[in-house]
Amino acid sequence: MELYRLGIAEARAAIDKGEISPMELTAVLFKRIESLDQKIRSFVTLDKENAMLQAGRTGRDPAHRLSGIPLAVKDNICTEGVRTTCSSKILEHFVPPYESTVTKNLKEQGYVLIGKTNLDEFAMGSSTENSAFAGTRNPWDITRVPGGSSGGSAAAVAADMCIAALGSDTGGSIRQPASFCGVVGLKPTYGRVSRYGLVAFASSLDQIGPITKNVKDSAILLNIIAGHDRCDSTSADVSVPDFTSVIGKDIRGVRLGVPEEYFIKGMDKDVEGAVKQAIRKLESLGAVPVPISLPHTEYAVAAYYILATSEASSNLARYDGVKYGLRVGGNDLLDMYMNTREAGFGAEVKRRIILGTYALSSGYYDAYYKKAQQVRTLIKRDFERAFTEVDAIVTPTAPNPAFKIGEKADDPLQMYLADIFTISVNLAGVPGISVPCGFTSQNLPVGLQIIGKHFDEAAVLKIAYAYEQATDWHMRRPEL
């Protein structure tokens, strides 16, 4: 097997046995990036010199679970001394003076940072077409999008340009690109993983998680990045189990909710067929499908795009050209603010700031923001009721496979609907994973979403692993 095809567990075993060295593995990946990334555009920043130095300093060290393992990090997660742009002109030259908690945890386990991956600007998008630098392309078909906003991370993993990657998920931004690119993407429970050092989009929805080649690797990374953090006031002080301990456990008798609202008119027939076949496979493994209803699902997109844009309007007010980031001068202070934001923010970011500012404005707050919060509560209660009957919920990750580049660029509503099956999970704060479950007639990957109870990532991973091991979809790779 080519070294770049290794996952975390396989690479760790090969390094520990002395079969390969961290420097050798890192060099192979940079060679792969040099040959492929001109057409995929997964990376915003590469850190080859430091990566090779770090790889040279590491070796066989069982105490460090990621010793010598080259990973990529989404470019909205702060890395001390390494540029963090959020794929925005306003932060194009920003170098953080501090480390995010998740990358600090990875550092303590000996990882090698190979580079920072592309995203929709400030994580606002579903296609990674909104990057200020270049759009990322899907390794399975470079005329199509990789999904978003973590499209750079998903494409890099799918194209074997890194061993695994971190992404962030506000409304589906890990799971949807994982589905489009045929890899595994896990959004943990809100509060399970520290957000300290994650550049904020919507603070009550954002969550960091792994994008990997297989389910076991997601469990390994979650073990490392999960846990309470006093630097994040929303971090949950709950115990963290060993998520790898559930890998391989029997799923006989596990009740799987199948919500009628997630099989809708207009969804791609190949996607629907692949997901229903996946549910039958889970049933053959002993799981018990149970029809359920999540009745407020139809209001999720509307509620999300009020709440997320409102929080974005507040969070992005800090980019004014005063303390850091881009500064464009003017005749006075107000001129400088306006000129900086006009030049620094892209069209989608401006659209969302305007929407959020409007929703929060005097006279409209109760009609929009307050009402959306009430709908959010109803959606959360839908999940709570469902989980009194079932152990987990299975759905399609997205209603369609990867769409053509530019296909939805001029229709924001259609773009927003690309996340229709993932948004509710963020509104409710529950964990969800996307695993490959088939391909369309055009050879495009399809993702199965498995949703769990609050802080029950173990159940989600157990079910996902059982399905993965009973199929071979995760072993397929794009021809590049």
- Per-residue pLDDT at 61 exceeds 80: no
Mapped onto helix, strand or coil, the DSSP state of residue 445 is: strand
Residues contacting 461, CB < 8 A, separation 6+: 186, 215, 218, 219, 222, 243, 246, 247, 433
Confidence of residue 59 (pLDDT cuts 50, 70, 90): low
Give the mean pLDDT of 267-271: 96
- Residue type at 453 in one-letter notation: K
- Percent of the chain residues past pLDDT 70, beyond the cut: 99
Going by the DSSP 8-state scheme, the letter that residue 200 receives in this structure is P
Give the separation between CA 275 and CA 449, rounded to whole angstroms: 9
pLDDT in tens, 365-409: 999 999 999 999 999 999 999 999 999 999 999 999 999 999 998
Give the mean pLDDT of 133-147: 98
pLDDT of residue 60: 66
pLDDT in tens, 188-227: 999 999 999 999 999 999 999 999 999 999 999 999 999 9
Domain borders along the chain are 3-251
DSSP string, 347-384: HHHHHHHHHHHHHHSTTTTIIIIIHHHHHHHHHHHHHH
Give the separation between CA 364 and CA 162, rounded to whole angstroms: 46
Give the separation between CA 390 and CA 460, rounded to whole angstroms: 12
What's the CATH fold of domain 3-251? Amidase signature (AS) enzymes (3.90.1300)
Angle at 204 between CA 98 and CA 88, to 5 degrees: 50
- Per-residue pLDDT at 329 exceeds 70: yes
Q: Where are the alpha helices (DSSP H) in 110-204?
A: 151-158, 175-181
pLDDT of residue 411: 85
Residues contacting 340, CB < 8 A, separation 6+: 90, 319, 320, 321, 325, 326, 327, 328
pTM equals 0.97
Residues designated as active site: 74, 149, 173
78-92, 235-249, 284-298, 409-423: least confidently modelled range? 409-423
Structure tokens at 298: 């139809």
Tally of CA atoms within 13 A in the half-sphere of 263 that contains its CB = 19
